[in-house]
Amino acid sequence: EIDIIALKDKKLHFIEVKSVSHETSISPEDNLTPQKLKKLYKTIEVYLMSLKNEPEWQLDLACVYLNHKDKTARVKFIENIC
């Protein structure tokens, strides 16, 4: 459910990765629906309960824009989305 869990400066970063093709009119941010956010928060909650101490944490979004024609990609990283 969570794409990446990383530790940076003693803070846990839960990172959701969303990608779209350049040909689409929908942005990666639009693909992060309220239902998906709710599932992510539940998953984060379960993960944090498994730890002895609850660290500081945040939810980040990595937006990947794919260009299949040119075989390139661009990444936009949005920290602390909620």
Q: What is the pLDDT of residues 60-72, one digit of tens each?
A: 999 999 988 899 9
pTM passes above 0.85: yes
Q: How do residues 25-46 score in pLDDT, each as one tens digit? A: 788 888 899 999 999 999 999 9
Residue with token string 């689409």:
24
**Is 8 in contact with 19 (CB distance < 8 Å)?**
no
Q: CA separation (Å) from 8 to 3, 33, 51, 62, 69? A: 16, 26, 17, 16, 35
